Every structure is written in structure tokens, then in C-alpha cells.
Amino acid sequence: MRRADRLFQIIQVLRRSSKPVTADAMAVELETSKRSIYRDIATLMAQRVPIRGEAGIGYVLDGGFDMPPLMLTSDEVEAAVLGAQWVAGRGDPALARAARDLIAKIAATVPEKLRPVLLEPAVASAPVWRHEVETLDMSRVRAWIHAGRKLRLHYADEQGNETLRVIWPCLVGYRETKRLLVGWCESRDDFRTFRAARVVDAEFLDDRYPGRPAVLRARWYARVEAERAAWEAAGRPMPQ
């Protein structure tokens, strides 16, 4: 890897991490020596790249730093194509349209040498043969998640039993062709996952729930990881 490319990759590594990254970790990822990483960090700091930290502790990149857009590698282009293909086939209509627009925008701006990677990718997501029928407006649900607002769901379970739930939505997830809504259920006083196709009706409330959606998501992810660890400790696969 050329040194100029390595300097760019160091910034990328720091940009995607929310915690300090050690020189050891960067050296392993970039397949170079720790001494080279120290020299590169010093060079970047001399060029006024806002990196903070020190040897043995780790480095962070301050927010607000920007680089020229779309300096993409071939692998990054294919990753974008694969992700966009998946979203175009499984996302709600607004997300699917956005995924197709994303591919068109990247195709219009990447260097000519990368265009074949985009237009004739060597990767592809599996085709989707059947979508569940939904009445829930998932685009509006995503907007309510970002706003931290509550939903009142008229929900039918697997046996057809219907209940009314007020939830604090925090995440839209996907499992094969099923869309799932994760949130804190006020009536159960716990996290619950709801199949979007089983929502009979939804009322989009103006009430905000306590805290930020990101904090609620972090609590849910921690719960899932704890459950996975418990199943692994018991020597059994976690139920899907």
C-alpha cells in the first residue's frame, strides 16, 4: 500500500470508530508496522488533521473533519452496490427508491476506471420472491423513530389475538422478507419485536418518549448480546 493510501485509510479507521484506536490495531488492519503508524499519525497531525491521543492509549478523530467526497476503492464500490441491491429488494418503497438513486449518483461521480465495478458488479444479493403484505407506513415509522415519538399499534399475534400497544419505536429490522419493528412496550414494560405485516392499524402519536432513540437502541442491543451470551454458555443456538 502506498503511503498516501495508508494515510487516507488511517483517517477512515479513526472516522468509523467511536472509541480510541491503538496503533497496534491500525497496524494489523493496514498490514504495516506499528512504527509506520506512529510516523503516519505524526504526519497527519502536522497537516492539521484533528487527531488526538498518544501511544499506548489510542487515537481519535475529532468531529467536523471532512475529506474530498467519493474517494472510493473498488471494494468500497462493490460493498455499496451489494448493500444498495439488498435495500432495493427488501426496503420499504422510499428506501428502495433511495437505494436505486444511490447507485445512480455513485455511477455519475466515481472515476471512469471504477465504473465497470459499479455497472457490472461481481457481487449480488439473493432475489426476493415474496414480500409480506403490509399496511404499516414504514417510511413514516422511520420518521417517528428519528423523532423519538410514540406509536399506538393495533397488533395481531401469530394466533390472531389482537391487542393495543403503545410502544417507543427504536429500530426497523429485517429477517428475510419480513420487516420487524423493535420498541419498548409500555403495557409489557419491556422490549418487544413486532412483525410489520401483523400490524392491523397504527396511530402516530405526538408524544415523545423519554430519552433519545439511540440510547433505547443501545439498551436493546445490549439485551440481545446478553441473551446470545447466555444461550452460548448453555451450549445451545439462540432462537431466531
- Please indicate, yes or no, if residue 213 is contained in any of the structural domains: yes
Q: Which residue has the cell 399496511?
A: 135
Distance separating alpha carbons of residues 168 and 208, to the nearest angstrom: 8
Q: What grid cell was written down for 57?
A: 492509549
Residues 31, 100 within the same domain: no
pTM of the prediction? Answer: 0.69
Domain assignment present for residue 68? The answer is no
> For the chain, what is the domain count?
3
DSSP letters along 18-43, please? SS-B-HHHHHHHHTS-HHHHHHHHHH
Domain, as residue range, for 45: 3-61
> Could you tell me the CATH number of the domain that includes residue 176?
2.30.30
Q: Are residues 226 and 171 in the same domain?
A: yes
pLDDT tens per residue, range 156-179: 988 889 999 999 999 999 887 789
- Let me know if residue 130 belongs to a domain: no
At 61, list the grid cell: 478523530
Q: pLDDT tens digits, residue range 183-215? A: 999 999 999 999 999 999 999 999 999 999 999
One domain, residues 14 and 54? yes
Pick the closest to residue 13 from 58, 70, 77, 46 (CA basis): 58
The closest of 166, 149, 139, 141 to 216, measured between CA atoms, is 149
**Domain contains 162:** yes
In a domain, 78, yes or no: yes
Residue 178 belongs to some domain of the structure: yes
| Residues 161, 113 within the same domain | no
Residue 203 has, within 13 A of its CA and on its CB side, a CA count of: 8
Position 67 in a domain: no
- pLDDT tens digits for 49-88? 889 987 778 999 887 666 555 567 888 888 988 999 899 8
